[in-house]
Amino acid sequence: MKKVHVIAHTHWDFEWYFTRQNAQIQFAYHMDEVFRALEQNRLDYYLLDGQMSIIDDYLNAQPDKRELLVKFVKAKRLYIGPWYTQIDEMVTSGEAIVRNLQLGHKLASDLGGVTKLGYLPDSFGQGQDMPKIYNGFDITATVFWRGMPKEKNARYFYWTCEDGSKVLAANIKNGYYAGIELVESDDFNALLTKISTDTDVDDLVVPVGGDQRPVDFNLKQRLALANASQNDYQLVESTYPQYFEQLAKNQDLPIYSGEFVDPSASKIHRGIYSSRVDLKCIYDELERVMTYVVEPLMTMAQYHGIEQKFGIVDEIWKTIVRGQAHDSSGGCNSDETNKDIFNRAVNALQLANSLRDYLLRKLSSKVPADLDLFFWNPQPVAQKQVLTFKVNTRSETFKLSDVHGKEVVFEVLQQEKIDAAVTRRDVSQMVADIFYETTIALETTLPATDWIGFKVVQEPTQMLTRQNATLIENEFYTINYTNGGLELFDKATNQVYADFLNFEDGGDEGDTYDYSPAFEDWILTLDLKNVSVQALAGKFSSQLTINGSWQLPYDLKQRAAKVAQTKVDYCLHLTLNKGDKTIGFEFEIDNTVLDHRLRLVLNTNVLAKFSYADTPFGTIKRPVMDMHLNDWQEIGYHEEPTALRPMIHFANVHDDVKSWSFIGLGQKDFEVIGEKFDKLAITMLRGVGFLGRPDTKRRPGDASGLQTKYVPTPDSQLNGVHTFKGGICLDESYMPTILQARHRQLAVGTLGYQNQAVNRFTTPIQYFMINENPTALQHYPLCEVKATGLVISSFSVTSDYSGLVIRLYNPSKEMLKNPGHLQLAQTSNVSALNLNHEVRKNLATEVECFELPDFAPGEIQTYGIYPLG
């Protein structure tokens, strides 16, 4: 007899076509039912959807319920955590995933116990790195629904990573709502037969619950009826921990690895990678600011006498991971909901930027008298780069000198004359108070976790400026506007790429879930002709600017008629900095048209068979065409398995002699296109007007989301001005570690502060007075990572303030032996930590240099560094 473990649960979307406020009210009353069902023993167990955000909000509003909730959690009848919110895995960075689980673990542990289960029952695809992330939190089992390909059609299996990580997986391929049939239908055999397919095991699992579904108080009676109706299955109330304990006894379960993004059991919605790019960009920016700037800067600040503010950091991260919740990060929501998601991000970004600005100011406040301009590097790696910064002076001209009094060469990129006169209604009574804000560029090397300082000397002098030119260049490239297009010369290979960059615009008759081409489409190749061009050549930084407009179809009707009469203005900036292989990319567009997709197209001349991109903690190789593109309907897939692919930070194509990469600062969607697959297309913007549409070209059948109601989303047309930033790189070989380092440099930019009194509005909080830091500024480097084959994922402080945390990973598919070392500024003890920053093993005692062990392919290692004395 087979045993069926029945799991009572609810699936609780944080927000969707409704707002989180709507859901919060519903949940408050739902919890009354949960407690009543447990108190009256109408249910033995209940699973609260694996996420803590809904409980956090609930207890903030009803703290009186905390004791009752803790009672049932400790009794192992109510199961909570491990997530703060359930993520959509394909568009969420590794550190955001880690912070999500850390927040979920902390809150669940404080409430009586965390459920060690990788529970993501509704995410749109399963990322290849999840087993090693789960193992990093001592999680050894996972439950999900969507994504399994036809070739891996198992319900229960082991899911592995290249580093040896492994979780036992239950693919609830009939959905997290499958067990509702137990409650609502007497045809028990139909359900039992359905959940028995694609497996030979005798222990099966069926979840009973659904979206915001109320408690099923009659579950025990329904199980009794189901058991009485047949003799082949025994149905019992259970929990996932109990179930996986039994499932693990099976010796011959399949073993699979990789990502699961096929629409076999359900729709997979690869179109969410580009939905609501405004949300994608601002949350990506939040992740970058927190991971690369605020957390490392706070770590440095602690050793300069400035107290940590973990509460503020957690508040920002909670906003981020709320925005990374399933549906929230996808943008497949009502306009009202997306407004809330965006506004939360705006508020959190203001908080993060204010924290950054305050720390830079406070750190630079008690300083040697002969220095007044400071640049900071919070990363544990030295960085040689071109810095850009706005210097404020009374004098129109000035010099810079270093700590030894030696003059420092810089160039002026821009200068603005500002009158800070006290305002009067009668402007004739205003007394001029003139100062100059000068944007400069200079090249320097910033030591790891340290700073450099300069003196601004205000005196008459001849300042170096950029000059008008016909092209821009640095040691690696020449970029020239010629014959109505952009020509790129790669100096490393002596290769000329004519029209190396253009854009493509096509119709989008999909919805917020999925891109789908228009039924009567008209794809336009957008050239760069009839534009104004300005090239400014400098010693340190050169820039080519193109201003122009395109004529595009206003809507799907005009596109079908091949009428393109609506003006769309754009501005493209390409920047070359000295010593930098990344071509800076900035694109601004005033989107005035509807239902379309606009993509940047790089004409690479790589005849690609595969594309490459980064994942949360690794890289992935994918075929340029999905293997089931031509037979997906015959094999029963729920939508066309498009060649659209996700990326976290970069997308790449390469061959034996050249490698093209796009580094994104918010872009998450790319595709290799062209008859010879020689073009790399990055989605800039996708505008659609409905939450869900039925019978699209790529996705026949019911609309996604709500099947019986059109929900207009005019805001998701993304009309208005949008700016997209990133970088373009040409290399002789594919080097993911270098690409991640370039992404980090783009993300951090310049962290500088000038002690001056002429401009009190350099930041929103500059107007406020502060006391100088009690600790005089000195050089206090903390550590440096000397391991060029590893990616620095994060640098922060331990939760008890006693040490440093450095997380590294190997992005390659090869074992990395003797990868390098950690150079420590103080004699320290070193420990191995898990991803929850708990000590796993003591590695070294009283060392100043720690030799890193070998890294398995894709392996993550986290180190706790504890300075002595």
Strands 2-8 and 233-237: parallel
For the chain, the straight-line distance linking the first and the last C-alpha, in angstroms and rounded, comes to: 64
Phi, psi of 770 (to 5 degrees): -135, 155
What CA–CA distance (Å, rounded) separates 389 from 477? 24
What CA–CA distance (Å, rounded) separates 222 from 617? 44
What CA–CA distance (Å, rounded) separates 434 from 431? 10
Does position 433 have pLDDT exceeding 90, yes or no?
no
Identify which of 248, 258, 191 has the alpha carbon closest to the alpha carbon of residue 225. 191
Tokens (6 digits) for 10: 């609810």
Helices 66-74, 53-61: crossing angle, 10 deg rounding: 140
| DSSP sequence for 345-389 | HHHHHHHHHHHHHHHHHHHTTS--TT--EEEEE-SSS-EEEEEEE
Give pLDDT, residue 34: 98
Q: How confident is the model at residue 353 (pLDDT cuts 50, 70, 90)?
A: very high
Tokens (6 digits) for 209: 């619950």
Give pLDDT, residue 378: 97
**Averaged confidence pLDDT in the chain:** 96
Residue 451, amino acid: W
Does position 196 have pLDDT exceeding 80, yes or no?
yes
Does position 274 have pLDDT exceeding 90, yes or no?
yes
Give the number of other CB atoms < 10 A from CB of residue 788. 12
Residue 574, amino acid: L
Give pLDDT, residue 327: 86
Does position 711 have pLDDT exceeding 80, yes or no?
yes
Does position 52 have pLDDT exceeding 80, yes or no?
yes
What CA–CA distance (Å, rounded) separates 431 from 411? 31
pTM > 0.95: yes or no: yes
- Is there a contact between 858 and 811 (Cβ–Cβ < 8 Å)? yes
Strands 532-537 and 541-552: antiparallel
What CA–CA distance (Å, rounded) separates 856 from 551? 52
How many percent of the chain have pLDDT more than 70?
Answer: 100
Q: How confident is the model at residue 216 (pLDDT cuts 50, 70, 90)?
A: very high
Identify which of 30, 7, 12 has the alpha carbon closest to the alpha carbon of residue 214. 30
Tokens (6 digits) for 733: 């070989």
* Residues whose CB falls within 8 Å of the CB of residue 804, separated by 6 or more in sequence, listed in order: 299, 782, 783, 795, 796, 797, 798, 864, 865, 866, 867
> Alpha carbon of 302 to those of 296, 495, 662, 775, 801: distances in Å?
10, 49, 36, 11, 8
Residue 513, amino acid: Y
Residue 619, amino acid: T
Tokens (6 digits) for 844: 């070294």
Give the number of other CB atoms < 10 A from CB of residue 612. 22
What CA–CA distance (Å, rounded) separates 668 from 601? 15
pLDDT digits (tens, 9 = 90+) for 308-334: 999 999 999 999 999 998 888 889 999
Does position 869 have pLDDT exceeding 80, yes or no?
no
Give pLDDT, residue 764: 86
Q: 3-class SS at 255?
A: strand
> Alpha carbon of 658 to those of 195, 604, 649, 652, 859: distances in Å?
49, 9, 20, 11, 27
pLDDT digits (tens, 9 = 90+) for 364-411: 999 877 899 999 999 999 999 999 999 999 999 999 999 999 999 999
Give the number of other CB atoms < 10 A from CB of residue 111. 21
